[in-house]
């Protein structure tokens, strides 16, 4: 039983603690790595299996019709990764945002040479294997942090200011029996072909029910859609 008093609980503000920190990090890297050239994005937390984060351009509009890009980070991977790696994911997606506004993104899911060169300029070395020697361009590309590079220096400077991610996902607990209205996934029949879609763009594909499709542009699993 949680024995904390109501005033104590009200003093805890997880939303502000989390999003203010990510806004702080975004502004820090925008200044130190991008010369304050990037527009602000809407940073979201998206629990997507098999991904650290993704970028989606012009994903949101406000009441005045102004657009904002989305940078999504996976909170399920905060607890098992060093803080500097989480910040590396943020900057990786900021490079996609930079290219969306100031460059020429590759067609569809392709990570092109312009993107790879910008990654290296900010201190993240692109690789399709996650290790040295991997291809720098292609459908699916991650990165390594360059030792002594611009990103590592900027990240260490931020962390030295007591920057931290205060809230991390707790270990999963068994779900109680419930008659609530949550949507649940239904396992399809063997051999049935289903349509999947990327949550960050309009990419769609048909495949067998047990296929695990990933959008290489946003580095997120494609979900079965109607």
Q: Which residues in 195-210 are b (16+ Cβ under 10 Å) and which e?
A: ebbbbbbebeeeeeee
The confidence band for 20, taking pLDDT boundaries of 50, 70 and 90, is very high
The confidence band for 210, taking pLDDT boundaries of 50, 70 and 90, is low
**Once rounded to an integer, what is the mean pLDDT over residues 140-165?**
97
Distance CA 38, CA 171 (A): 35
Distance CA 75, CA 78 (A): 5
pLDDT for the residue 197: 66
pLDDT at 9 exceeding the cut of 50: yes
Where are the domains positioned within the chain?
13-159, 193-224
16, 68, 81, 35: CA torsion to nearest 10: -100
**Once rounded to an integer, what is the mean pLDDT over residues 178-194?**
45
Which residues pair with residue 72 across a beta bridge? 44, 54
Using DSSP's 3-state secondary structure scheme, residue 36 falls into coil
83-102 vs 113-121: helix axis angle to the nearest 10? 130
Q: Which residue has the higher pLDDT, 177 or 13?
A: 13
pLDDT for the residue 11: 80
pLDDT for the residue 186: 39
pLDDT at 216 exceeding the cut of 80: no
Distance CA 106, CA 41 (A): 21
Distance CA 74, CA 163 (A): 18
pLDDT for the residue 219: 58
Distance CA 205, CA 223 (A): 10
Task: Name which of 112, 80, 64, 115 is nearest 94 in CA terms.
Answer: 115
- Mean pLDDT, the chain, rounded, equals 84
**What would the pLDDT profile of 78-119 be if each residue is shown by its tens digit?**
999 999 999 999 999 999 999 999 999 998 878 999 999 999
The confidence band for 202, taking pLDDT boundaries of 50, 70 and 90, is low
pLDDT for the residue 110: 87
**Once rounded to an integer, what is the mean pLDDT over residues 153-161?**
98
Domain 13-159 classification at class level: alpha beta
Least confident span in 15-24, 33-42, 196-205:
196-205
**Residue 148: CA count within 13 A, CB half-sphere:** 0
pLDDT for the residue 100: 97
Distance CA 70, CA 85 (A): 19
Distance CA 105, CA 111 (A): 7
The confidence band for 170, taking pLDDT boundaries of 50, 70 and 90, is confident
**What would the pLDDT profile of 54-81 be if each residue is shown by its tens digit?**
999 999 999 999 999 999 999 999 999 9
């Amino acid at each position: 039983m949680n024995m904390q008093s109501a005033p104590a609980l009200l003093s805890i503000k997880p939303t502000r603690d989390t999003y203010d920190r990510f806004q702080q990090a975004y502004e820090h890297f925008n200044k130190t790595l991008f010369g304050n050239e990037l527009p602000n994005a809407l940073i979201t937390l998206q629990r997507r299996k098999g991904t650290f984060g993704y970028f989606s351009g012009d994903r949101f509009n406000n009441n005045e019709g102004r657009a904002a890009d989305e940078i999504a980070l996976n909170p399920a991977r905060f607890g098992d990764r060093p803080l500097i790696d989480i910040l590396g994911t943020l900057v990786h997606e900021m490079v996609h945002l930079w290219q969306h506004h100031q460059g020429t993104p590759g067609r569809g899911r392709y990570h092109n040479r312009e993107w790879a060169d910008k990654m290296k300029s900010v201190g993240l070395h692109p690789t399709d294997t996650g290790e040295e020697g991997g291809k720098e361009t292609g459908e699916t590309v991650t990165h390594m942090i360059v030792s002594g590079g611009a990103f590592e220096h900027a990240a260490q400077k931020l962390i030295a200011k007591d920057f931290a991610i205060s809230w991390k996902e707790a270990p999963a607990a068994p779900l109680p029996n419930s008659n609530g209205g949550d949507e649940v996934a239904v396992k399809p029949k063997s051999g049935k072909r289903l349509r999947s879609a990327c949550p960050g763009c309009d990419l769609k594909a048909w495949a067998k029910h047990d296929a695990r499709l990933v959008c290489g542009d946003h580095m997120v699993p494609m979900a079965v859609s109607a």
